[in-house]
Structure 1
Amino acid sequence: MNKPEILAPAGNLEKLKTAINFGADAVYLGGGKLNLRAFADNFTDEELKEGIQFAHERGKKVYVTLNVFPHNEDLNGLEEYLVKLYNLNVDAIIVSDPGIIMTAREIVPDLELHLSTQANNVNWKSAIFWYKAGVKRIVLAREMSLDEIKEIRSKLPEDCDIEAFVHGSMCMSYSGRCLLSNYMTGRDSNRGECAQPCRYKYYLMEEKRPNQYFQVQEDEKGTYILNSKDLCMIEHIPELVEAGINSFKIEGRMKSAYYVAAVVKSYREALDSYFDNAEAYVFKKQWMDNLLKTSHRDYYTGFYFGDKHSQIYENSSYIRDYDIVGIVRSYDENLKEAVIEQRNKIFNGDTVEVLRPKADNFEIKLQNIKDDTGNSIESTPVAQMLYKATVDIELKENDMLIKSKGK
């Protein structure tokens, strides 16, 4: 049984490096054109070059999204962009439109193609169609059950991979194909500009259909009838592996570096633990604890087990119990002093939690805080400022410091 890949989102260069440092086997990201996260930082050519080099030096892969449904004007410059990505040595592009697939096969025939979940592949016949068209990997539609995935795996050639989302936001549409944003705001969700109207507050009224009741749970403030829970399959690693999924995909190119670190860490540890000894595998509470600390909506298991209760009616807010407050840049063992890059304000004497790729989380106290000129300070109010703090426990470069909002 081949070990599945952990595939993480990389909304920018920092998140790419975070994902790889915390255990991702591959990352996916958007370049300058044709990706479905138009409002993410995305990557310049220089950043993409640096990110690919960083990944490849560590034996990891980089996939670039070209997964929009392009209109005619979106095709301008497509050939040149494909050649640029090929010359940058990207490992694959993620595509959904047949026109882009055809062009890629003509212009860069050696560039690996992954079929985006936007293509809504829900059966093995369609998967074979795309495979014969030159697609190496099928990113399955999110509406599929584990039983359906197992059947698709059994029908596909061994060299055709299947990828499935295992964690992150879901939307009330068919694998992301939605027109609410187009109608309500003029922003095309299928061209990367979704305004997320499924998260808006709605009232449901139909005055001309007597005796047809639409159950809506609401209070005087309204209800969020289209607002989906977040997918979380951390408790079902064995089932995912046994279904034959080759790549476990994490959603979240718009999420924080902390989200990327914590989610990748949990899935990395869970998957490694299963492959170390499948018969003795036991789910560890700490993996879920890490996921509950990140920004998220209520979790559920999507369509994998035929779940029906996917909506959150009360609000559309994220649960945010912890924030990232700093990244360790260096540690002087003799002075017991850490150099930290600020991510959120902290105060002298604060207790924070340390998140690192390979260790259980632990708490430290930041004392004797000083600015970069050596002056004592009571807080760190300036974004991304470098400061020093006395810490009794040895820290490592790129350790991530997080803090409960309740402390």
Structure 2
Amino acid sequence: MSTKKDTRSVKLERLFSLRCLPIRFGLTQRLDLLIFPYISGNKNILCPISTTRKVLGEFMFILAPINHANDMKHLAQSGADEFYIGFYETSWASNNERFYDLNRMSDFAEDANRYSLPELIEPIEEAHRLGKKIYVTLNAPYYNPNQLRMLQEYIRKLKEFKVDGVIVSNLRVADICRQEGISAVASTMCGVYNTQILSTYAMSGVKRVIVPRDVRIEDVKRMKESFPEIEFEVFMMRNGCKFSDANCLGFHCYPHGALCRTLKFSKKQIGGTNLTFDLAQQLFFNDMMFKELYEHDACGMCAIYDFTEMNIHALKIVGRAAEQEHIAKSITMVKANIAIAEQSSSRKEYLENMVFPSDPKTCFMGLSCYYPEIRFGAKHKLSD
């Protein structure tokens, strides 16, 4: 057997062992092909592997939402490397009005926060039994001084449970985490849009940052190059938003009238003076297009090759209130595309071979892209 083939065999062995690919991901008898399940059906996709890709770098993790410890094994088998979870606490509810959230999805109740604080020991221990890390969300938009004191008690308990980190929404909660000796992850609520903001959080001891949805690929790269010691987590699948979390003071709930849902479903009327039929038609079409297609089912998989080149730490799947089977399918697709990206010699090669979501509405207009500049150019990014 040739040296070249030996080297590639080692690469493939490393790829499949370190990434713990599900058993349904198999190798064909040819070493230059990987076989992946096509998500929307039963057929398989044969993905050619480049022979020119340089030695594989560090692999990216897939971070998955969890709301039930019983689902963790299935999601881990699907390819999840890390988990994040929320919780509810009766002491918080009894001491605060319902308008004060404990985390960004408190009003989803058990749909997104199944466990109380004492009960979190179960999913934390299950994650560690599976050899996975798990993070807890404390990322509401605002906490008053009394609430911060309550959070400090919660964080002390989370440290006792040996949680791997807390996802925070501001510097004050990050400071509490540092005081209590637990890792803080800067969430999108922190608004880390540039190196200056990132520097502030880095000086506060934050070692991991979730990049906001609307940051360009080039800006992610710039921040990563400026702070190589920071772990970067980027959005990858599901539940996009047309607004910036850091600058949104709305509630993620139906009773309070979430801003995004209110604008989307409120009655609209097209009118005005000198409004021609052609202009009215354009306005109507534009409104319907953004209502029905924008962030239909957000996806960032076209950017996976770029993220492998940057050594991004984790790709985030969104959806703590979602059906776990849907989460598992997203994980499987992302897993397949990470493997393809690691064996591609260029972005072009990756884009030609990647696995696409089954619903064409997700892709072909660029309205559900987390990173539309990859296929549609920089002008397509909403933040312009």
Alpha-carbon deviations, 1:199-238, whole Å to 9, x = none? 4143155758989x7852259xx84755632321224421
**Taking structure 1 as reference, are residues 184 and 142 closer, same or farther at Cα in structure 2, changes over 3 Å only?**
same
Task: State how far apart, in whole Å, the 2-side matches of 1:21 and 1:182 are.
Answer: 30
Q: Give the counterpart of 2:176 among 103, 117, 130.
A: 103
Residue type at the aligned position of 2:265: Y
2:127 to 51, 55, 62: 55
> 2-side partners of 1:76 and 1:216: how far apart?
50
CA distance 1:22–1:46, change in 2 (3 Å): farther
Q: 1:307 to 1:75 in 2, by over 3 A?
A: same
Aligned equivalent of 2:214: 143
Does the 8 Å CA contact 2:372/2:380 hold for their aligned counterparts? no
> What residue in structure 2 maps to residue 80 of structure 1?
153
Q: Under a length normalisation based on structure 1, what TM-score does the superposition of the two structures give? A: 0.63
CA contact (8 A) 2:127 2:134 kept: yes
Equivalent in the alignment of 1:320: none
What's the offset of the Cα at 1:30? Answer: 0.5
Confirm or deny: 8 A CA contact 1:172 1:226 kept in the other structure.
no
Q: Secondary structure at the match of 1:122?
A: coil
CA distance in 2, matches of 1:150, 1:245: 9
The aligned runs of 1:321-360 (5 Å cut-off) are: none
Q: What secondary structure does 1:125 align onto?
A: helix
User: Hey, what's the Cα distance between the residues in 1 that align with 2:119 and 2:154?
Assistant: 15
2:164 maps to: 91
SS at match of 1:89: coil
Partner-residue secondary structure (3-state), 1:127: helix
Residues 198 and 47 of structure 1: CA distance in aligned 2, closer, same or farther (over 3 Å)? farther
TM superposition outliers: structure 1 runs of 4+ over 6 Å: 208-211, 283-286
Deviation at 1:134, TM superposition (A): 0.9
Unaligned runs of 5+ in 1: 311-407
Structure 1 residues 41-52: aligned runs within 5 Å:
41-42=112-113, 43-45=115-117, 47-52=119-124
Paired residue for 1:203, among 262, 265, 268?
268
Distance 1:26 1:174, change over 3 A: same
**Residue identity in the other structure for 2:105:** R
RMSD in angstroms over aligned alpha carbons?
3.4
Secondary structure of the 2:177 match is helix
User: Using the alignment, how far apart are the partners of 1:169 and 1:182 within structure 2?
Assistant: 12
Match for 1:69: what amino acid? P
Change in Cα spacing, 1:144 to 1:217, as seen in structure 2 (3 Å) is same
CA distance in structure 2 between the partners assigned to 1:16 and 1:150 by the alignment: 32
- The structure with higher relative contact order (CA 8 Å, sep 6+) is 2
1:116 to partner: Cα distance:
0.2
Cα gap change, 1:182/1:257 in structure 2, threshold over 3 Å: closer, same or farther? closer
Describe the shift of the 1:6–1:207 C-alpha distance in structure 2 as closer, same or farther (beyond 3 A): same
Contact (CA 8 Å) 1:15, 1:256: kept in 2 or not? no
1:186 matched to 2:234: no
Does residue 67 (structure 1) correspond to residue 135 (structure 2)? The answer is no
Residue by residue, what CA displacement relative to the aligned partner does 1:141-179 show, whole Å, maximum 9, x if unpaired? 1111111111111111x3211111011111121136434
AA in 1 matched with 2:262: P
Q: How high is the sequence identity, in percent, across the aligned residues?
A: 22
**Higher helix fraction (1 or 2):** 2
The separation in 2 between residues aligned to 1:261 and 1:170, in whole angstroms, is 18
Q: Tell me, in whole angstroms, the C-alpha distance in 2 between the residues paired with 1:46 and 1:180.
A: 29
Deviations 1:113-158 (A, max 9, x none): 11001211110121111011111111111111111111111111x3
Query: Structure 1 residue 36 and structure 2 residue 100: aligned?
Result: no
Query: How far did residue 63 of structure 1 move?
Result: 0.7
Q: Give the equivalent residue in structure 1 for 2:188.
A: 117
Task: Provide the C-alpha distance between the structure 1 equivalents of 2:252 and 2:213, rounded to a whole number of angstroms.
Answer: 22
User: Match of 2:51?
Assistant: none
Q: 1:292 aligns with which of 355, 358, 363?
A: 358
Structure 1 pair 196–84 and aligned structure 2 pair: CA distance change class (3 A): farther
- Distance in 2 of aligned mates of 1:15 and 1:9: 10
Q: Counterpart of 2:58?
A: 2
Shift of 1:282: 5.5
User: 1:292 is aligned with what amino acid?
Assistant: S
Write out aligned runs for 1:377-396 (5 A). none
Q: Give the 3 Å change call, closer, same or farther, for CA 261–93 of structure 1 in structure 2.
A: same
Instruction: Judge conservation of contact 2:166–2:183 (CA < 8 Å) in 1.
Output: yes
Q: Which residue of 2 aligns with 1:368?
A: none
Q: Which of 155, 165, 174 is the equivalent residue of 2:244?
A: 174
Secondary structure of the 1:292 match is: coil
d(CA) in 2 for partners of 1:209, 1:83: 64
- Matched positions, count: 294
Distance 1:238 1:41 in 2: 31
Task: Give a deviation string over 1:339-376, Cα, whole Å, max 9, x none.
Answer: xxxxxxxxxxxxxxxxxxxxxxxxxxxxxxxxxxxxxx
Quickly say closer, same or farther: Cα 1:140–1:195, change in 2 above 3 A.
closer
Q: How far apart are residue 104 of structure 1 and its match?
A: 2.2
